[in-house]
């Protein structure tokens, strides 16, 4: 079985409708997780913790795709245009 690493990170955005961080030095790295389910759980906890701040956003990056460029893009990646 292939390992599917996921990175959960987030921070304050310049504009809530975009994905550009105010200050990349302040990005909060939640952690690297061995599967999507545990990454999602960590993402959800951080997203709920910061729900009152519209400028704070958390993301899940699919690190395994950096190792396997033949992997097709996910539907969530396609949403960004």
With cut-offs at 50, 70 and 90, classify the pLDDT of residue 25: very high
Contacts of 56 (CB under 8 A, 6+ apart): 10, 11, 12, 13, 50
pLDDT digits (tens, 9 = 90+) for 27-72: 999 999 999 999 999 999 999 999 999 999 999 999 877 765 565 6
3-state SS of the chain: helix, strand, coil percent to 5?
Answer: 30, 25, 40
Closest by CA to 8, choosing from 57, 51, 48, is 57
Q: Pick the residue with more confidence: 6 or 66? A: 6
Distance CA 33, CA 61 (A): 10
Rg for the chain, CA atoms, rounded: 13
Domain ranges of the chain: 6-33+50-79
CATH domain 6-33+50-79 topology: Alpha-Beta Plaits (3.30.70)
pLDDT for 81 equals: 45
């Amino acid at each position: 079985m292939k390992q599917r690493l996921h990175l959960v990170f987030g921070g304050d955005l310049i504009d809530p409708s975009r994905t550009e961080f105010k200050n990349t030095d302040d990005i909060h790295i939640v952690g690297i997780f061995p599967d999507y389910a545990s990454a999602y759980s960590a993402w959800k906890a951080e997203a709920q913790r910061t729900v009152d701040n519209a400028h704070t956003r958390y993301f899940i990056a699919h690190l395994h795709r950096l190792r396997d460029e033949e992997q097709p893009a996910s539907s969530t990646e396609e949403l960004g245009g």
